[in-house]
Chains A and B, each alone.
Chain A
Amino acid sequence: MPTPVPAARQCLAPAAVTALDAAVASARRRAHAQTTSLHLIAALLPQAAPPLLRDALARARSAAYSPRVQLKALELCFAVSLDRLASTSTSAPPTGDEPPVSNSLMAAIKRSQANQRRNPDTFHFYNHTAFQPPSSPAAPSQVRVELSHLVLAILDDPVVSRVFDDAGFRSADVKLAILRPAPPLGRLPARARPPPLFLCSFAAADDAPSPAGDDNGRRVAEILARGRNPMLVGVGAASAAADFAANSPYRILPVGPTSIDQTNLSVAAAMAAATSGLVISVGDLRDLVPDDGELQERARRVVAEVTRVLETHRAGRVWVMGWSATYETYLTFLSKFPLLDKDWDLQLLPITAVRAAGLVPPVTTTPAFSNPATTASPFSTPASLVEPFVPFRGIMNDTYESSSLPTHPCPQILRCQECNDRCEQEVTTIVKGSGITGEDYHQGGLPSPLQNGSMMGLNNGLDAIKVRDDQMVLKSKVLNLQKKWNDYCLRLHQGCQSINRGPYQYPHYIGVPADMERATLSKGSDSVTLKRRVIRPSAVSATRTNAAPKSVSPPSISNQTNEELVLSLQGRHSKGDDQFQDRHVQLQQEDLSSCHDRENHMSASTAAAASVATDLVLSTPRESSSKGTSSAFWKHVGDADKSTHLTPRKVDDLNQKPPLTFVQPYSSRSSRNVGQTSPSSLHSAASGGVSAFGQWQKPSHLAVQGSDLSNYKLLVERLFEVVGRQEEALSAICESIVRCQSTERRRGANRKNDMWFSFHGADSMAKRRAAAALAELVHGHKDNFIYLDLSLQDWGDSSFRGKTGIDCVVEELSKKRRCVIFLDNIDEADCLVQDSLSHASDTGRFRDMRGKEVAINDSIVVLSTRFTRSSRNLLVGVEEGHTFSEAKILTVRGQQLKILVEPGTAITSRGPSRSPVVVSSSHPLAKLQTSLCSCNVSKRKLNDSDDQENLLESPSNPKRPHRTSSVPFDLNLPVGEDGSNGADDDDSSNSNDNSSGNPERSIDGLLCLVDGAVEFKPFDFGKLANNILRELSNMLGNVLGTGCTLEVDVGAMEQMLAASWASEDRRPLQAWLEQVFARSLDELKLQRGNHASSSALRLVTYEEDTAAISAAKEDSRFGALLPSRIILEWR
């Protein structure tokens, strides 16, 4: 029932009328029959329209994309849906020239009218008028609807909200954004640069939530992407650091004086290569410069430890960050730890804005923010506080994507050989043309192995230029040329870069000409200078910031030049530099020795990969020690303030060494690797081919092998520590992880970082514990673990209520960004969960019911099922000899235990009717009579709330999933004629689902998609029970003597089994036996004296009233399953 436009206009305030007119015009233009809500919203989207909706959209927190992109998407979606509208309603020709207002839009207008009326002050007035004549449709007084109210109401229109959904907006968010007006600062035009922020201006900042945090996080991420380590300084530093920690794609590992003892930095760092990276956060610098002596010592250890780890993983994805509210603290920090800013390669990042509301920096035009001068004196001039810094940047071409934190940070510019050659040619031409004489190409006369392999050693003849004058001009020309070729190469030859890169490519190019000139000048015109453009990342800051007269980087080009240089360097450093020499020599020796070691291992272990693993792991300390030496060496040079950066690589080693003839698939490459055990190559080896820039390079096989094997070993060890069994499964998991990391897997155009596993078979406890341990090992904290039992409909956790399984996953994942997602009983997932999982597996993004998407990042998804891989047969522990099934043990709840004492009946109780069931029942020593009577099992009843409490109590511990029937139980007691009504077993739901969608196939399809399928063996409860019985009998014998018997009720036994099964090892149960069980026996002996020795005891469970249970829970020292005392009861 369309309403004429004038009638609708009467209900609207002027601004809304304008919007309506625009909508009407648009509807007319499109020859639509009616003006709908879609038209109205679409009319509000263009730039010319009132900014209300656009502002709100920009502020609405949307899922994954930048507001600009999403707004564009929204416009497209509206355009599409409007077009669609045309096709449906062209049949009705437009009546008159103003298409009347559609029913749904009119309804929205009425709704907004009502909303406006419903304001508390006008409510009663309206109420009376409305209710007097029930048949009169509308209130007499016309409320003129404001635009905001109108938009709010329209957002409820299902048609409109669907379009918003399509574009990735949630109408609820948009509504919220409209209701909450923008803070004043947010009124800046969207494209405006953020205003200069001075130290004084933070006070004026609004404290409304704003994207400023993101901005800081972005800056931090940029610094990380450049391989440097951010140090946030300023009033907002703490919150900026926290924001970054909350949102970063990296794993953040807080380290402080108090926690340094518990933190295993090296393990975390070793695992860093497996993830997107590790950022060690030293937190507030104030904590590191305490006055207290003892704390100071701890702080020193923190710094030393971090320095060590950074050195070891320099080229890996390990960073350090810290923050300080004042610059003074930072200075104090530096005075306590001199030169740490260089050792850690710190980059200061002034965070002056606490909350700068609405400052969204332009997204496309922002070049790389680089700040080469920050280490020098960022606070010397207020102007330098203006961010972003966009100074002249050398040939670094950082490109930045503003929409998300860079998981693959800036591409480094490395030209391929061809481009390099041409570039060199041009440079040479220029140099010659400029009248500067002298050039130096060191390309000839190389040993042939080098010529083949270490490309980067050859690339650099370009730099060997003697410059006499016109340096500035020349330099800029050369830089421009290089930039040009870089761009060109990046554009055209991107593919060949990875090929041309050597196996241990130095990750960092810097604009060397400056250094080169200085060196050249200082050395005089006649000396031959050897220039290297490739410098270790740690050298970069020093090179840039120290105005050192000489900056010579070491050669690895030819024997002669190398020796010459070393000689000349030694000559120059000869002023008492014996130490230097010693170190150098020592270093070489170490290099050599480690080379030999490796070589031997290599040749010896072509077959047995496992032994390679061991050997490489063993050799790691030596490597790191050599690195330590080299770093000391470096520091030493730095101390001398020569800015002389040596790569202690001796190319001659290669030739002098024994023949490298061992049989290895990668012999040539590895031999070179071995030959040049410079710190850098070690670093790159250790990081698995991930450069300091974090960019993925095709790693050399040796490097991969080395790091992966050590990772593998570490992983298996740590996993086994936690799980305590299932070695085969664990090593299969680790194998898959390492395989996934070392091979490049792709999903369309993007690299696939996530890993999907399927865990098959029984022993759910081990499966779950393994997954939780993975969360801790790979993603840093055991909180990064999402557990979801898909067979349950109610998730126990109240915050998950009313959501589907995938909703929960999305919600948790969006909080944590990366984690291990453990989906238990995947075979019982409903069709929606299955669909979303397939979608997630295909696209790398989880999408919840409302269309909100979250990226999986490098999370690990574990699909767990009780079924074995080969068959869908349930492999429960009811094979021969297994009395205890896992399903039963899983349902065990912690109950009170008591010992029933029947004095003097030990003999009679052992009647023929009680057939001993368990193997150890006739234990020779204790004459233990153990009978398993199953009478008590059925008595236990489920107490759901109690169980939930347990679940909530120990979120991190492996929980016992409580099982209720997966299908809601049916009141129809007699099974109906269609047979499937009353049954509450899985088969019925499966068969029913089969008829309408066949979920089994998609489950199997899902399980086929995984990166690794792992089989778990069922847990041997029988063996464990025997062990427990033996333990009990020993105790019984020790305390009471051999005369008495003990029957363990099956319920009690199950409880002990469950406790032991759920714990990592036997210790908790052992402790319980010793402390609780033995104490009860003591008590018994005390009270009965000699009679006790002939008693017949029965260990049984019993129900308590809830109050007592909760009281007992509070003091349960042995977990929820084992009571802290056993009651004695006499018969």
Chain B
Amino acid sequence: MVGAPPPSGAKLLQILNVRVVGSGERVVVLSHGLGTDQSVWSRVLPYLTRDHRVVLYDLACAGSVNPDHFDFGRYNGLDAYVDDLLSILDALSIKRCALVGHSVSGMIGIVASIRRPELFAKLVLIGCSPCFQNDGDYHGGFEVQEVQEVFDAMSANYMAWATGYAPLAVGADVPEAVQEFSRTLFNVRPDISLHVCRSVFKTDLRGVLGMVKAPCVVVQTARDISIPAIVAAYLKAHLGGHTTVELLPTEGHLPHLTAPSLLGPVLRRALARH
């Protein structure tokens, strides 16, 4: 697969397990974050399907995608993922949609909406950060040193790292969510996981936030191990479109797993306004 032109059209839809569910005029794209796949949305999906056409897909790095299609050279930054997203939307002939992106998909959404502003009516960014590393006044949550430690841990024993990381990421005391997140986390091939983490950690979108013109809703939980609360404020201050912040009174990086009943209505409200 190395060096081959990126797949497109129907082929891509198949590779990335694209699924369209629900009925309604407005289209919502749900894009999952690292270490999960589209099944992570299953609990909030019922809140949306009644009034929206929901597009679900897997990132190329997800465990449910054949790793053969993961081109280590190509998926070296966010751009390839953005390409995938835009190709999917084009293949589905979607002219305008809202995007709900979790974690890294929030970043993908930001970049995508800069590249194709007419396509995105609204961005809902869940647990999203423009940059994970601390940098001067900016507090992204991770020191460079810490990031390296994470990488070391991942490459030394992925399973051990994942086992330890899953409860931390989930945060809230919801064993089922931990189990579910662990499952999807394990499904990702370790080398892919590490590769993606490396590329994500070196991404810095702070400079381009102002170019986002679509209205954004930043959803942030009260306590998130990966994203400090200040990042939400930073996003609100710097995103170019009209931005609101929804603070969920729960914990963890994955509110769609841990608190669907909180997130569901928030999403409905956020999406009702686009």
Contact = CB atoms under 8 A, between A and B. Distances in A.
A137 B43 CA distance: 33
A158 B19 contact: yes
Interface in B143-201: 155, 157-159, 172-174, 176-177, 183, 186-187, 189-191, 194-195
A832 B44 CA distance: 10
B116 interface: no
B265 A1 contact: no
Interface in A453-484: none
A967 B265 CA distance: 9
Contacts of A831: 47, 50, 268
Interface in B182-232: 183, 186-187, 189-191, 194-195, 232
Contacts of B260: 802-804, 849
B247 A971 contact: yes
Contact of B268 (A103, A802, A996): A996
A976 B183 CA distance: 40
A665 interface: no
B47 A110 contact: no
Which of B64, B172, B173 gathers the greatest number of chain A CB atoms within 10 Å? B64
Interface in A740-785: none
Given A106-B66, A156-B183, A802-B176, A972 B245 contact: yes
Contacts of A804: 43, 260-261, 264
Contact of A130 (B2, B46, B191, B269): B191
Nearest to B219: A968
A666 interface: no
A156 B51 contact: no
Nearest to B2: A135
A832 B264 contact: yes
Nearest to A106: B66
Nearest to B262: A793
Contacts of B5: none
Interface string B241-253: 0101111111000
Contact of A115 (B11, B186, B265): B186
Which of B172, B174, B265 gathers the greatest number of chain A CB atoms within 10 Å? B265
A805 B264 CA distance: 12
Nearest to B249: A968
A820 to B, nearest CB: 22
Given A131-B191, A156-B187, A968 B246 contact: yes
Nearest to B67: A110
A849 B249 contact: no
Interface residues of A, number: 55
A106 B64 CA distance: 9
A793 B67 contact: no
B95 interface: no
A92 B37 CA distance: 28
Interface stretch (B68-76, B81-89, B104-112): B68-76
Contact of A793 (B157, B189, B249): B249
Nearest to B38: A158
Nearest to B4: A1
Given A801-B258, A803-B261, A976-B242, A103 B66 contact: yes
Nearest to B7: A1
B66 A110 contact: yes
A967 B244 CA distance: 14
Given A134-B191, A802-B257, A802-B259, A996 B43 contact: no
Contacts of A721: none
B83 to A, nearest CB: 16
Contacts of B259: 793-794, 801-802
Contacts of B272: 992-993, 995-996
Nearest to A830: B265
Interface string B31-69: 000000111001100110011000000000001111111
A451 interface: no
A138 interface: yes
Nearest to A134: B72
B114 interface: no
Which of A102, A107, A831 gathers the greatest number of chain B CB atoms within 10 Å? A107
A103 B245 contact: no
A1120 interface: no
A996 B64 CA distance: 33
Contact of B244 (A110, A118, A970): A970
A997 B183 CA distance: 34
Contacts of A978: 273
A238 B259 CA distance: 41
Nearest to A158: B39
A30 B91 CA distance: 27
A1087 interface: no
Contacts of B47: 830-832
Contacts of A161: 39
Interface string A868-879: 000000000000
A971 B250 contact: no
B72 A135 contact: yes
B80 interface: no
B189 A114 contact: yes
B14 A103 contact: yes
Contacts of A561: none
A940 to B, nearest CB: 19
B139 interface: no
Contacts of B249: 793-794, 964, 968
A992 B268 contact: yes
Given A793-B259, A803-B261, A972-B245, A134 B195 contact: yes
B20 interface: no
Nearest to A157: B64
A605 interface: no
A830 B51 CA distance: 14
Contact of A832 (B46, B155, B248, B271): B46
Interface in A96-137: 102-104, 106-107, 110-111, 114-115, 118, 123, 127, 130-131, 134-135, 137
22 contacts: A1-B69, A3-B68, A102-B14, A103-B17, A103-B66, A104-B17, A106-B68, A123-B159, A127-B190, A131-B190, A156-B183, A158-B39, A158-B64, A794-B259, A801-B174, A802-B258, A970-B247, A971-B245, A978-B273, A980-B269, A993-B265, A993-B269
Interface of B: 1-2, 7, 11, 14-15, 17, 19, 37-39, 42-43, 46-47, 50-51, 63-70, 72-73, 155, 157-159, 172-174, 176-177, 183, 186-187, 189-191, 194-195, 232-233, 236, 242, 244-250, 257-262, 264-266, 268-269, 271-273
Q: List 8 A-B pairs, minimum CB-CB distance, nearest first.
A: A802-B174, A107-B66, A971-B245, A804-B261, A802-B258, A135-B72, A996-B51, A996-B272
Given A135-B2, A830-B268, 15 more contacts: A107-B66, A127-B155, A137-B2, A157-B64, A161-B39, A801-B250, A802-B172, A804-B260, A832-B264, A968-B247, A977-B242, A980-B269, A989-B265, A993-B269, A997-B50
